[in-house]
Amino acid sequence: MKAAGRSRAQMKDRIKKFDALGITPAVELHLAGLDDILEGASDIKRNCLEYKDCEYIVHMPVTDARSGYIFDMYNDESFNLKRAFDLCNGIKSRTLVLHRCFGFDMGLDRFRSEKGFFEKVVKWDALAKEHGIKVLFENYGFVWLPEGLGKEFIVSALDHFFPWEIKAFSDNLHRYGLDNTGVLLDTAHMAISSNMFNMLKTLPGMKQDGRFKSICEDDLERTDWLKIKDFIFDLVGHFHISDSFVWGRADGMGDMRKFLYSEGLPVGKGNIDFDEIFKNVSGDKVFIMEIEPEDGDYNNNVAQMEAVKNFMRMFGRRAGACV
């Protein structure tokens, strides 16, 4: 389950729920921004070290909720990355989640972005190895921004992380021996990217919508219809779980926000067929319930606990580690 790193109340709630489920506690710490890896890191360490048996995953945001700073691998983020690694080491976390992005709103082509991104990956993998950390890059479509930043969304050429890109990225990690880097897949983000791909295949005029500009003609030639299960590879060991709405031609183009923005929904509140997309998954996997509370009470997030129960019922022994 996820929790805000600096909230003692949320941490206490998650540990209590894991105890009730009879599961060893594991929490993904969502950071609000740069202050959480700088001055606020001591608060997070104090909260986490109260629960010495809990395993932690640290999740860096794309945008800083307080300052509006946008974390972009095009920039020199090495100082921020080192502070994030220090936080991980301070709470004995072995995993840091970042988002795959490079050059927001710069109009870079895919080749230049992939080249620049991978050059950073090589450097950061070495740094991660020094700290004993595994960096996982999460799939993400266009990024919608908090109010007050002057624009509704930003895009980069590396939006979406389509299945063919995941495969090529993983092949390169293996080729260069980058063992401290991997992939984390978010089910809602997979749904949104699939929706956008299929919308563009159906109505090419959607390319005029800036949110779709990172989907290339080369992508569209890969398949006639993209499904969520196409993203699933055995090489991926971590998943963010939340529901969303999968678009079909019969839905038309009337409710764009429903199909382009819905994430964090409790399992069953959307229409993702989790049993179908995970039915052939094998090996040890980590399912992280990244779900928003239906009643807005983050200090008693019942929806996350119910999602763990649902996954345990759906998959039994195949559920792996539910977080």
d(CA 255, CA 98): 30
Closest-CA residue to 195 (of 226, 170, 171): 226
- The predicted pLDDT at position 7 comes to 95
> Do 112 and 150 meet the contact criterion of CB atoms below 8 Å apart?
no
H-only helix segments in the chain: 8-21, 41-49, 78-90, 110-131, 163-175, 187-202, 217-220, 256-261, 274-278, 302-315
Instruction: Please enumerate in sequence order all residues whose Cβ is within 8 A of that of 255, keeping only pairs 6 or more positions apart, or say none.
Output: none
- The predicted pLDDT at position 319 comes to 54
* Tens digit of each residue's pLDDT (9 = 90 or more) over 100-119: 989 999 999 999 999 999 99
- The predicted pLDDT at position 218 comes to 95
> Do 260 and 278 meet the contact criterion of CB atoms below 8 Å apart?
no
d(CA 81, CA 97): 11
How many independent structural domains does the chain possess?
Answer: 1
Residues of the chain with pLDDT under 70: 316-323
Mean pLDDT of the chain: 93
- The predicted pLDDT at position 318 comes to 52
Q: What is the CATH number of the domain that holds 180?
A: 3.20.20.150
Residue 30's φ and ψ, nearest 5 degrees, are: -90, 120
Angle at 89 between CA 46 and CA 17, to 5 degrees: 50
Q: Which two tokens stand for residue 224?
A: 């006639």
> Do 271 and 246 meet the contact criterion of CB atoms below 8 Å apart?
yes
pTM comes to 0.95
- The predicted pLDDT at position 322 comes to 64
User: Which structural domain range is residue 99 located in?
Assistant: 2-322
- The predicted pLDDT at position 308 comes to 94
Q: Which two tokens stand for residue 126?
A: 């070495």
